[in-house]
Amino acid sequence: MPCAHPARQGQGRARLCAVLSVVVLLLAVLTLPQKLRAQSGDAQFATLVADSLFIDGGALLIAEGNVEALFGNTRLKARRIAYDRNTGQIDIQGPLVLHEGREVMILADQAQLSDNLQRGLIRSARVVFDEQLQIAAAAVERLDDRFTEMNNVVASSCEVCANRPTPLWEIRARRVVHDDEAQQVYFENAQFRLFGLPVAYIPRLRVPDPRLERATGFLSPRLSVNTGHGVGLRAPYFIVLGQSRDLTLTPFVATKGTRALELRYRQAFATGMLELGGLVARDSIRPGRTRGFGYATGDFALGRGYTLSFNLIQPGDRSVLEDYDRSESRLTSDITVERIRRDERIRLQLLQFRSLRLADVNDILPNQVGQAVLERRMDMPGLGGVASYRLEAHMHRRAQMLPAGLPEPVPGFGAGPRPRHMGRVSLDLDWRRDVVLPGGVLAAAGAHLGIDHFRLGQTGGAFPTSYTRVTPSLMTELRWPLVRAHHSGVSHLVEPVAQVIWSRDSFTALPYEGSRLPELDEGNLFTHDRFASRDTRELGLRANLGLSWTRHDPDGWSSTLTLGRIWRRDDLGQFSAASPLAGARSNWLIAGSVDTMDGLTLSNRSLFGSDFSLQRTAFELDWTTDSYSISTSYMRILADPFEDRVSNASEWSFEGTRQIDDLWSARVGWRYDIAQNRAARAMLGLNYENECLRMEMGVERQFASATRPTSRTSFGLNIDILGIGGNPTRARRACSDL
């Protein structure tokens, strides 16, 4: 039964899947004489300090009393060291303590070594590796320059004290052989014990020694229980294919008939990395069918600042990802070539969108997209200010023409059937100059020109097959930052902002395929355009007005508040009636946040109508302390058929953890649909962690949703034995603790 180290990338938790090989205590113990012997060839020297040092009979060198030998990062302390030149024997009388850097500490009663290191014997040895794993052996014998044998070995990472003489877990072996050349440790007649009781017997166990970075073998298994699969077990098996390649096979077997195999192949290159994976399964969720998915991810440097990245995923059916713990409602696959510099961005991208929502039909979605973007920014000589341009080429297609238009006709968004093919080339020219006026007023002037050329295919006669649109705009802006500083160090910044933008009023109805969720928030209150796509542009004469206040306290408190609104000369009807941007006057935007030195963060963004009725709100609270953490949010948004939301939405979510004591912690979470008066998700978990064991268990209930017609309950249990493939833990008990 081999036990493996995973690859260096992302497999930290099993870094030393069998650090038991720290049995390399013999390597560390014997390292001192090895290094001493290397002095002649490497011109290295050791330091020996003792209360007394003398030569007996011309052949026996003896150091006694507080003996300390130092060589590099190795330090040996002993009561007595004697070297017999005639026999080549080195005798070390303990108690002896050897430190090999910060990773290995060895304690023993006595050691006898030959000067050529071909043979050696250490009695009553104990090693502590990386301040975690402890290995004790009655005797350690060096057989030759390759093999070392240990007898009556006990290994554990649990604290052993007078009031706790029995560790929580331990591994006992009658005989252990370390192969220095192959960097492997072999246990014979190994026995795994919990609370002193034997629970598993392994006749032969092989583990890699700590110097071996990766080895083939099993990783930590995981137990799960859910309504879809029943009781299931995953047992990943790691295979080393070379210095830069590995393969992980994870069979999954469950009581309700699930038989699945997950694969993951990884390879590192000099210029990047590649990962390929997938799953093949037969289960009772969809009986009689072979299910699965595949994915590929990669990231490569192409030279001259360009990078190539891709993230591809293809499921066999809508629910396979959620059934196998990879829940997503929409999938995005992309291949991207990009270069980003100080004043330049170049991006070429191919994308495929796939919806897993039950009501969506992928054949009529514009899910195949290609786009290219070039953006540059530069100073304007003579005119002053900063100029930029953005050139974008975009095309998309759908498998079938969508016969209906948007749910609600909106001017500028053609209401006819969606074309199967659409191509667009857009050029944006932008200039802005900022100046400081008397009284500290900041003024800015700018101009923007947008040129869009469309080519449409299979439109059903609802739209022109070719069209060019030119959208000029002018902008002027005034800001007046007012600062007040208190003698206590508290400072206030109040900044009123007025921005006026002119654009032409006329437009031609064209198909709009971009996001139908334009927002009004602090980030886009003062912008030329609030649409996500150049398929359409915001038009008309309008004024963006706002006021912001920021308070900073050197004691750690800070707060912000933003108030804003948009006034338009004419309502062109570009936004749906329920949108916060609709009408001659938009909703009022009120947003604020508070951060405290105690780890409390509050934020809220709300939109109010002209009659100050609440239209939308989003509230979030996060509070983190040493003993607990809380994250809760509330969202409310009114119905908008244009945004494909036929009813009001209101949801409350909560995530919290509580450190019960040094060993136990609990977590709880839920999402509750207030508008529908039903739960969407509920979760409860309990964690235990001490110096040698980590246990995570939890139960989760996922209720029926847009991607899943039925509810599902799952239970998970994961146990990590720390020190053998586990991560270091902060939960260390002292022997004085009860």
Q: Per residue in 266-316, pLDDT tens?
A: 999 999 999 999 999 999 989 989 999 999 999 999 999 999 999 999 999
Whole-number Å distance between alpha carbons of 170 and 136: 11
Residue 43 has pLDDT above 50, yes or no: no
User: How many CB atoms are closer than 10 A to CB 302?
Assistant: 13
pLDDT digits (tens, 9 = 90+) for 225-239: 888 898 899 989 999
The predicted pLDDT at position 351 comes to 95
Residue 671 has pLDDT above 70, yes or no: yes
pTM, rounded to two decimals: 0.76
Residue 443 has pLDDT above 90, yes or no: yes
The predicted pLDDT at position 7 comes to 40
Whole-number Å distance between alpha carbons of 389 and 449: 10
Residue 586 contacts residue 520 (beta carbons within 8 Å): yes
Residue 614 has pLDDT above 80, yes or no: yes
Whole-number Å distance between alpha carbons of 410 and 278: 43
User: Which of the pair, 738 or 539, is modelled with greater confidence?
Assistant: 539
Residue 2 has pLDDT above 50, yes or no: no
**Half-sphere exposure at residue 438, Cβ-oriented, CA atoms within 13 angstroms:** 0
The predicted pLDDT at position 115 comes to 55
The predicted pLDDT at position 322 comes to 85
Q: Categorise residue 384: left if φ over 0, alpha if ψ from -120 to 50, beta otherwise.
A: left
Residue 445 has pLDDT above 90, yes or no: yes
User: How many CB atoms are closer than 10 A to CB 329?
Assistant: 16
**Half-sphere exposure at residue 193, Cβ-oriented, CA atoms within 13 angstroms:** 19
The predicted pLDDT at position 556 comes to 83
Q: How far is CA 49 from the centre of its chain?
A: 50
The predicted pLDDT at position 36 comes to 39
Please state whether beta strands 421-436 and 442-457 pair in parallel, antiparallel, or not at all (unpaired): antiparallel
Residue 473 has pLDDT above 50, yes or no: yes
Whole-number Å distance between alpha carbons of 679 and 702: 9
Going by pLDDT thresholds of 50, 70 and 90, the confidence category of residue 424 is: very high
Average of per-residue pLDDT across 430-449:
95
The predicted pLDDT at position 603 comes to 96
137 closest CA partner among 124, 148, 149: 124
User: Which of the pair, 140 or 264, is modelled with greater confidence?
Assistant: 264
Alpha-carbon distances, residue 305 vs 340, 349, 392 (angstroms): 7, 16, 20
The predicted pLDDT at position 258 comes to 94
136 closest CA partner among 271, 12, 22: 22
The predicted pLDDT at position 515 comes to 81
Max avg pLDDT among 180-189, 471-480, 518-527, 593-602: 471-480
pLDDT digits (tens, 9 = 90+) for 694-708: 888 999 988 877 666
Average of per-residue pLDDT across 88-112:
79
Going by pLDDT thresholds of 50, 70 and 90, the confidence category of residue 40 is: very low
